[in-house]
């Protein structure tokens, strides 16, 4: 607890904490600084804040009562799920005035097999949702590297993407309904299971991607898909990012919806992963400029023919000179090992040292040219740096990382060159009509860049929505809007 605040405000903080403790019960309010500390730094370790206390409500009623109390006392609220976000959105500022609202205890998952949906507490972890769905012969078709920590509430609030967007879309497409606690403590239930409902605005979409600035998401109904009957995971070595794009078009033409994921990464990212994960193995003999990771899936009807179809499309691509080498995972363990190579790139890159990370998108067909041109421009303008561009080529979304020269001091580099590099990269992206945030959101990391690069009319609408729903500005202040 921030004792200076307690003394200075004539006991108002103490009164607030006492009332919060009554609402939340003995497990629900953490005031010990050492227990709160691990949750005050973001995943990338770039932001560190302070909090008055950490609330751990167990249900919607507790969230609603707490939010109402915060409104009465003027206490800001920062919602936090798995704290795996990439833009500092779940980290409070340094004032110590805010309460950190952790949803981790609200983690129930109820699968409705008949409706092909799952009703999840905001704190349900993505990997647990995968397992619960699979146990019922279903699946939740969104996955990402942070799945062991990321929560359904966090995924909803950041409108997360991941590795299956190509076929299933981002979180916006997968949320069937949600429940949210508004800034005044009122509960808004938008979890109607109706497939068609045209009563005006689709209000749930306002909260999806709002990063805790418009309300606290307490419950989410997500759409499930039938379990995959068969899958083939392939890694192909290709000579250029343009060849990777041509390979993708070829696979889409031949296999249509069976192509569920198409990710790319250069040799340098693979090297980083092999150095970081002791058990990881190179998937192909020899080195290749780029690797494409492809996942093909089939339902029961197509299960028997999937293997042959994948072999044919790869053989054709090989003959046309599109791929240099390829391996089809022989079993589930190898398929998972291939995916692990892709999903461990972020932590492996993080371990290499400071980097300016840009989660950007341009039109899908422009992405190969963008990667080549932007990499050249960055290296010319900032000699000694290294570019690692990897990710979701099929969605026109690449994580364009610029890595500092070895031995750079992180704080100095982040403050000076890192900032200059980011401005440079975002200018290249906006010049191509792209987005400075494809899937990670804005948080505190990109707030200024959003203001500088986005359409002023769009910013004005966002501000109007914010002041209508949170007039006192208590929900995640300093983030997004």
Ligand X SMILES: Cc1cc2nc3c(=O)[nH]c(=O)nc-3n(C[C@H](O)[C@H](O)[C@H](O)COP(=O)(O)OP(=O)(O)OC[C@H]3O[C@@H](n4cnc5c(N)ncnc54)[C@H](O)[C@@H]3O)c2cc1C
Q: Which is nearer to ligand X, 80 or 435 (CB)?
A: 80
Taking the complex as a whole, the smallest distance from the CB of residue 29 to ligand X amounts, in Å, to 18
> Quick check: 285 and 248 in contact, CB under 8 A?
no
Q: Which is nearer to ligand X, 78 or 310 (CB)?
A: 78
Tell me the residue nearest to ligand X as measured from the CB. Answer: 154
Q: Which is nearer to ligand X, 276 or 318 (CB)?
A: 276
Burial class (CB in 10 A: 0-12, 13-18, 19+), 321: exposed
> Quick check: 138 and 111 in contact, CB under 8 A?
yes
What would the DSSP string read from start to end of 215-229? -EEEEEEEE-EEPPS
Residues found near ligand X in the complex (CB under 6 A): 43, 78-86, 89-90, 103, 122, 144-146, 149-151, 153-155, 157-158, 160-162, 211-212, 216-217, 346-347, 439-440, 443, 476, 479
Taking the complex as a whole, the smallest distance from the CB of residue 148 to ligand X amounts, in Å, to 9
Taking the complex as a whole, the smallest distance from the CB of residue 142 to ligand X amounts, in Å, to 9
Calculate the alpha carbon distances from 291 to 73, 271, 315, 324, 367 in Å: 54, 12, 17, 10, 16
* CA separation for the pair 177, 190 (Å, rounded): 5
Q: Determine the Cα angle at 452 with ends 451 and 458, to 5°.
A: 50
Taking the complex as a whole, the smallest distance from the CB of residue 431 to ligand X amounts, in Å, to 24
Q: Which is nearer to ligand X, 160 or 306 (CB)?
A: 160
* CA separation for the pair 63, 218 (Å, rounded): 8
Dihedral, CA atoms, 174, 475, 1, 146, nearest 10 degrees?
Answer: 20
Taking the complex as a whole, the smallest distance from the CB of residue 55 to ligand X amounts, in Å, to 12
Taking the complex as a whole, the smallest distance from the CB of residue 401 to ligand X amounts, in Å, to 13
Q: Which is nearer to ligand X, 55 or 404 (CB)?
A: 55
Q: Which is nearer to ligand X, 152 or 251 (CB)?
A: 152
Q: Which is nearer to ligand X, 276 or 424 (CB)?
A: 276
Taking the complex as a whole, the smallest distance from the CB of residue 140 to ligand X amounts, in Å, to 13
Q: Which is nearer to ligand X, 170 or 387 (CB)?
A: 170
Q: Which is nearer to ligand X, 62 or 417 (CB)?
A: 62
Taking the complex as a whole, the smallest distance from the CB of residue 150 to ligand X amounts, in Å, to 4
Q: Which is nearer to ligand X, 145 or 418 (CB)?
A: 145
Residues 6+ apart with CB under 8 A from 362: 370, 396, 429, 432, 433, 434, 435
> Quick check: 459 and 451 in contact, CB under 8 A?
yes
Residue in 146, 130, 141 with CA at minimum distance from that of residue 90: 146
E runs forming strands in 6-94: 29-30, 53-55, 77-80
* CA separation for the pair 308, 293 (Å, rounded): 18
* CA separation for the pair 290, 244 (Å, rounded): 8
Taking the complex as a whole, the smallest distance from the CB of residue 226 to ligand X amounts, in Å, to 23
DSSP 8-state assignment for residue 123: T
Taking the complex as a whole, the smallest distance from the CB of residue 181 to ligand X amounts, in Å, to 8
Q: Which is nearer to ligand X, 161 or 396 (CB)?
A: 161
E runs forming strands in 134-267: 138-139, 175-181, 187-190, 216-223, 225-226, 230-238, 259-266
Taking the complex as a whole, the smallest distance from the CB of residue 153 to ligand X amounts, in Å, to 3
Dihedral, CA atoms, 403, 410, 438, 190, nearest 10 degrees?
Answer: 150
CA contacts within 13 A on the Cβ side of 469: 23
């Amino acid at each position: 607890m921030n004792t200076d605040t307690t003394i200075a405000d004539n006991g108002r903080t103490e009164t607030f904490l006492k009332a919060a403790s009554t609402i939340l019960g003995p497990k629900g309010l953490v005031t010990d600084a050492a227990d709160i500390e691990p949750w005050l730094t973001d995943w990338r370790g770039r932001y560190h804040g302070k909090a008055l206390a950490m609330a751990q409500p167990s249900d919607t009623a507790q969230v609603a009562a707490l939010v109402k109390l915060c409104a009465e006392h003027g206490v800001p609220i920062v919602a936090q799920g798995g704290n795996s976000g990439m833009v500092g959105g779940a980290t409070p500022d340094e004032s110590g005035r805010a309460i950190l609202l952790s949803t981790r205890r609200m983690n129930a998952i109820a699968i409705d097999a008949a409706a092909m949906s799952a009703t999840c507490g905001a704190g349900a972890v993505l990997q647990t949702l995968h397992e619960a769905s699979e146990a019922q012969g279903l699946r939740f078709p969104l996955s990402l590297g942070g799945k062991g920590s990321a929560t359904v509430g966090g995924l909803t609030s950041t409108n997360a993407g991941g590795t299956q967007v190509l076929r299933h879309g981002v979180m916006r497409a997968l949320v069937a309904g949600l429940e949210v606690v508004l800034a005044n403590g009122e509960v808004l239930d938008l979890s109607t299971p109706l497939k068609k409902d045209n009563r005006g605005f689709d209000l749930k979409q306002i909260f999806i991607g709002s990063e805790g600035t418009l309300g606290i998401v307490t419950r989410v109904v997500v759409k499930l898909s039938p379990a995959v009957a068969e899958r083939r995971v392939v890694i192909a070595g290709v000579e250029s990012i343009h060849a990777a794009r041509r390979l993708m078009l070829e696979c889409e033409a031949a296999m249509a919806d069976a192509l569920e994921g198409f990710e790319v990464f250069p040799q340098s990212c693979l090297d980083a992963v092999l150095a970081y994960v002791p058990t990881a193995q190179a998937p192909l003999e020899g080195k290749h400029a780029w690797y494409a990771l492809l996942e093909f899936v089939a339902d029961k009807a197509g299960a028997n023919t999937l293997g042959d179809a994948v072999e044919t499309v790869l053989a054709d691509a090989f003959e046309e000179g599109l791929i240099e080498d390829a391996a089809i995972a022989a079993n589930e363990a190898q398929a998972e090992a291939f995916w692990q190579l892709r999903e461990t790139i972020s932590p492996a890159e993080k371990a290499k040292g400071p980097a300016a990370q840009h989660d950007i998108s341009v039109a899908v067909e422009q992405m190969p040219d963008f990667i080549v041109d932007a990499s050249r421009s960055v290296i010319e303008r900032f000699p000694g740096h290294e570019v690692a561009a990897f990710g979701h080529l099929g969605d026109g979304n690449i994580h364009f990382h610029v890595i500092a020269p070895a031995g750079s001091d992180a704080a100095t580099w982040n403050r000076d060159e890192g900032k200059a590099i980011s401005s440079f990269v975002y200018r290249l992206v906006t010049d191509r009509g792209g987005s400075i945030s494809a899937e990670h959101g804005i948080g505190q990391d990109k707030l200024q860049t959003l203001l500088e690069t986005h359409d002023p009319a769009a910013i004005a609408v966002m501000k109007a929505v914010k002041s209508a729903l949170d007039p006192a500005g208590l929900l995640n202040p300093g983030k997004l809007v």
